[in-house]
Structure 1
Amino acid sequence: MRHLTKVLLGLMLILAVACSRTPPRGETAGGARYVGGSVPQLGDSHPHEWRNGHPYNHHVHGIDISRWQGDINWAQVRSSGVSFAFIKATEGGDHSDPSFQRYWREAAAARMPRGAYHYYYFCRTGREQAAWFIRNVPRERGSLPPVLDLEWTHSKTCPRRPPAAEVKREANIFLDIVGRHYGQRPIIYTTVDFYRDNRLGDMRAEFWLRSVADHPSVTYPGQRWAFWQYTGTGIVPGIQGDVDINAFAGSSTDWARWLSARLTR
């Protein structure tokens, strides 16, 4: 009996050690494996089963943030494998994110490549919104290109859904004005429904595509992209709560080449 007790205790000890092991490099506590990437510390509070191309196969990942992320430990974010940050600056023609200026300074201090994005409203002209963005976002050497966030708004003050021709006309006015000011044509961020409703594929811009249920090649067939927002429930050391995580389309070498061509000068 004593021998059996020792054996049972030994088995229980082995099981306890196995269950409490620290996940190896390349695996999260939940078991989601990062294949080919360099972001072992990033995770997802609601992981998705990817069928047509896994975002973790990409080597370069970054975040997009707004006031809702609260206080951020930028040094920890950077050391976790995050390579860039897009920060909400403005929306419409009269609203600015109250955390933008602080995040802008803090990210720069942590030597994090960062850019600003504008959330577009359909009750203001493209010219008005471009002026508002320029008024609030510094033109700083080394910044990422500006971003125009085009998606249907759910606003009681601006419920308009203009026709595709108007959407693209006014968006192009914004892109032209902002592009001239910062010396880099803005990236377009968009969602699946907005992209389809307005046939955005013929616009002259790099794309940042939201696709949290499948690979962009499936949800945006034939569309080239630079950035892919693959989750809104990401886990990033240094940030409390969920955060959007994005992948860059190319390798680490491609990323360095992209930066050399697309940073503000």
Structure 2
Amino acid sequence: MKRKTNKKNTYRVLYYWLTGVIVILSLLFFFRTSLITYYYLIKNKWAGANFENENLEKNIKISEIQKIQAVFTKYKNNVFGLDISQHQGKIIWDSIQFIDKEIPISFVFVRATRGAFTQDASFKKNWRNLAKKNIIKGAYHYYDVNRNSTIQAENFIKTVTLEKGDLPPVLDVEELPKDQSLELLKTGLINWLTIIEKNYKVKPIIYSNDAYFIHHISDMDLTDYMIWTANYNPIESPLHQKWSFWQFTEKGIVKGITENYVDINVFNGSIEDLKKLTL
């Protein structure tokens, strides 16, 4: 009888022990699930415009932050803006207002087209939302250095309708050709600029980085064109002497843009000077 009683006691203890473990694990699973639900549904989704992407802030280098702050300080009397494309993902437009929490976003360039036949997947949405805000907008074309320049100009024209108050069209060229010579590329660039100017009745802006301007197209006559140059080095001003816009970082963090970093630009002048450039 004692042996049977001991067995019953052992089974009872084991039963209560397993039951306790199951209850504890269930509670842990419940609390974990509740926290995850809160984080993703309440904090991220329902907070909407109040959500700031912590991952972007964690991954940016201190040296990059210091460089950005140095430009903000040096050009505190100038105006700043962004350039965006489909790479920024979904934008919470109600939150688009400031850079670094206090610097007004005065202008935004939006990628409209790329190459001969491609339209940026977010262009229509971005363009429409920008029109609702008190922000000067402009559209740019990413140039395919191996495609026909006339077809590329037509792609931009059929996609973009500019209105009074918009910035001139922008030609963005960054790569070197593989299927044609550099001289033919330059001819194509001038052709694109000419077609666009004839259509919109304004000289376009040309964008590239400092090295490209200096080493590859320095002999092009761009005297009458506004220059938008990129240089991400910790410098006080771009190498290009005749710059109107300077893209000084690709690691901008802006409330309302949570899926990726964004390019930040400074205009070489005041808001009044910027408005004089518009159509």
Conserved 8 A contact 1:75-1:110: no
Structure (1/2) with the larger helix percentage? 2
2:186 matched residue in structure 1: 168
SS in structure 1 opposite 2:112? strand
Instruction: Show the 5 A alignment for 1:1-265.
Output: 45-46=60-61, 47-48=63-64, 50=67, 54-58=71-75, 59-80=78-99, 81-152=104-175, 159-160=178-179, 162-163=181-182, 165-195=183-213, 196-199=215-218, 202-203=221-222, 204-215=224-235, 217=237, 219-220=239-240, 223-240=241-258, 241-250=260-269, 252=270, 255-260=271-276, 262-264=277-279
SS in structure 2 opposite 1:115? strand
Q: Relative to structure 2, which stretch is displaced further, 225-234 or 207-216?
A: 207-216
For the structure 1 residues 256 and 63, does the alpha-carbon distance in structure 2 shift closer, same or farther, using more than 3 Å as the test?
A: same
Tell me the C-alpha RMSD between the 2 structures.
2.5
CA shift at 1:45, angstroms? 2.9
For the structure 1 residues 134 and 239, does the alpha-carbon distance in structure 2 shift closer, same or farther, using more than 3 Å as the test?
A: same
For the structure 1 residues 96 and 120, does the alpha-carbon distance in structure 2 shift closer, same or farther, using more than 3 Å as the test?
A: same
Per-residue CA shift, 1:112-150, capped at 9, x if unaligned? 211110000122222111111001111322211110001
For the structure 1 residues 123 and 216, does the alpha-carbon distance in structure 2 shift closer, same or farther, using more than 3 Å as the test?
A: farther
For the structure 1 residues 189 and 213, does the alpha-carbon distance in structure 2 shift closer, same or farther, using more than 3 Å as the test?
A: same
C-alpha separation in 1, matches of 2:170 and 2:219:
15
CA shift at 1:174, angstroms? 0.9
CA shift at 1:54, angstroms? 3.0
CA shift at 1:161, angstroms? 5.9
Per-residue CA shift, 1:154-177, capped at 9, x if unaligned? xxxx744631x3222211111111
- Aligned residue identity for 1:208: W
For the structure 1 residues 83 and 184, does the alpha-carbon distance in structure 2 shift closer, same or farther, using more than 3 Å as the test?
A: same
Conserved 8 A contact 1:186-1:205: yes
C-alpha separation in 1, matches of 2:212 and 2:189:
13
Q: Work out the percentage of aligned pairs sharing the same amino acid.
A: 34
Per-residue CA shift, 1:51-79, capped at 9, x if unaligned? 9x735422311000101112223342224
- Aligned residue identity for 2:119: S
C-alpha separation in 2, matches of 1:184 and 1:226:
16
For the structure 1 residues 72 and 94, does the alpha-carbon distance in structure 2 shift closer, same or farther, using more than 3 Å as the test?
A: same
- TM-score, with length taken from structure 1: 0.72
- TM-score, with length taken from structure 2: 0.68
